[in-house]
Structure 1
């Protein structure tokens, strides 16, 4: 790796400016929590490269150029690869995990491991923590949560907990659950988000998964725009033609977009993303393969 690449990857000042975090970065839990929340609130989730037929690069310097030095975002592999590199540069220990997104699934093993999450160990913290700045939903983690079962965690109006699933193999299966809207029943409101084991995955594993998610003709991420951003008092989502705003008080407003120029303006102004050429925001990406 050249000195130029190393400087780009480890440009912590540029990263901290991008996420608007002005604390003193240290290898401790406070920094981990602060960076996690700031990252989640600052860099949008988006899949515009796959929509235009380009599989995102997972080279750390390419990710930094896109997510840190440009008005762009990315999906889980990009966000969590970037975040893992930042944490490791600070001296924290990071294990990369592969998870099955199981929202709505009857059987967990019916879903492939196509989501990237992180297990982070901070000095002085008695337990490792699940960290994830790349889960593209309104029920994503705003702070890392300790790896314990049953305890409920609150951050930014969101409620999460970790539970164990029945084992289907030699390794224990963990499940991240999120609670439904305020006012739902305390037990019935929990919904599984993704399931994972603690076996570490390496960069080549994610390269394969990234190619599938970014290029397979049946992947939802290669077929329609899917963008989210956390604004100060609401969550913004563009899923295909439908734009939804979920306010902190639970109010939801939604509308269908019908004009390409309007859609491009909305993405650039509300999601703070510069739309690359060749993205059919309201069109239909051509089938490949």
Structure 2
């Protein structure tokens, strides 16, 4: 998500509104039929269910607008319409659900560092969550908005140098030296026979107003790939699907990878409908 600054200023954050969050509708949307209580098993289960049910997508940005982060808009789009969203939307929705369940949630922001030559070269543009479970002294890292096959399937304890395995995915958190006053954490994923840095973050709290600025920047900056390149992701029961413009890639849990090129706009819309359960806006041009 590394992008340059834009010549204009973002709009002021929208006035905060109080919107009843329908926990039952959320749990139905993600297909969660387990316990609705604030414990580790529920945190992990809800996290995994959310990830498999609600796809990652950037169709609003592709259509020229920054998606609304207002609670009512998120509930309408991600719960009641056939749509998904990217990290700001996904993790904001998860935070609302976890808070209703009784968890304490802190918004954090990290730098995506895949392929970067420095952990601090890129801007902070990726929203994640720090979750505290009642009675458990360990905070947990939760993130349903990364989108990539290297993302977390379940929330993991914020513990350094411990390998976490969930299904085929392997992760580690490490702390590294840097110039700031807070510990710099890095999430690593096992990929291609080695550990690959995914994103770096500190536990400095952020607030929704911070996300408003980042969201506008990522969605509307012409140098941001989210503003011009179709990006859709879905974690399935057998693997992971990724649609990048016209290229559809399926990565199965057994390690096999299948890729095919789609024919054009009509084919892309059909795949969004069939494979991702997304009804793309008719006015949004998907293939450029």
TM-score of the aligned structures, taking structure 1 as reference length: 0.92
Deviation at 1:135, TM superposition (A): 0.5
CA displacement 1:196-221 (0-9 Å, x = unmatched): 00010011111000000011111010
- Given candidates 258, 271, 276, the residue that maps to 1:271 is 276
Residues 1:256 and 2:261 aligned together? yes
Runs (4+) of structure 1 moved beyond 3 Å?
A: none
- The equivalent residue for 1:86 is 97
Structure 2 contact 246–264 (Cα < 8 Å) conserved: no
Query: Structure 2 matches for 1:86-235, cutoff 5 A?
Result: 86-181=97-192, 184=193, 189-235=194-240
Tell me the distance in 2 between the aligned counterparts of 1:173 and 1:74: 27
What SS is found at the alignment partner of 1:243? strand
* Residues in 1 aligned to 2:108 and 2:68: alpha-carbon distance in whole angstroms: 19
CA distance in 2: counterparts of 1:100 and 1:143, whole angstroms: 20
Local SS of the residue matching 2:200: strand
Residue 71 of structure 1 corresponds to: 82
Deviation at 1:155, TM superposition (A): 0.7
Alignment: residue pair count? 272
Task: Give the gaps of 5 or more residues in structure 1.
Answer: 284-289
- Cα contact 1:29–1:123 (8 A) shared by 2: no
Which residue does 2:24 correspond to in 1? 13
User: Which stretch shows the higher mean deviation, 54-63 or 226-235?
Assistant: 226-235
Q: Structure 2 regions of 5+ residues with no counterpart?
A: 1-16
Aligned to 1:97, what secondary structure does the other structure show?
Answer: strand
The 3-state SS of whatever aligns with 2:161 is coil
Instruction: Check whether the contact 1:258–1:282 (CA below 8 A) recurs between aligned residues.
Output: no
Deviation at 1:277, TM superposition (A): 1.9
Q: Secondary structure at the match of 2:243?
A: strand
Checking the alignment, whether the CA contact within 8 Å between 1:94 and 1:118 is kept in structure 2 is yes
Contact 2:19 2:71 in 1 (8 A): no
RMSD, aligned α-carbons: 1.2
Q: What's the counterpart of residue 33 of structure 1?
A: 44
Q: Tell me the distance in 1 between the aligned counterparts of 2:79 and 2:170.
A: 29
Per-residue deviation at 1:278?
1.9
SS in 2 for 1:118: strand
User: What do the CA deviations read for 1:125-178 (whole angstroms, capped 9, x no partner)?
Assistant: 230000001101011101111111100001121000100122121111000000
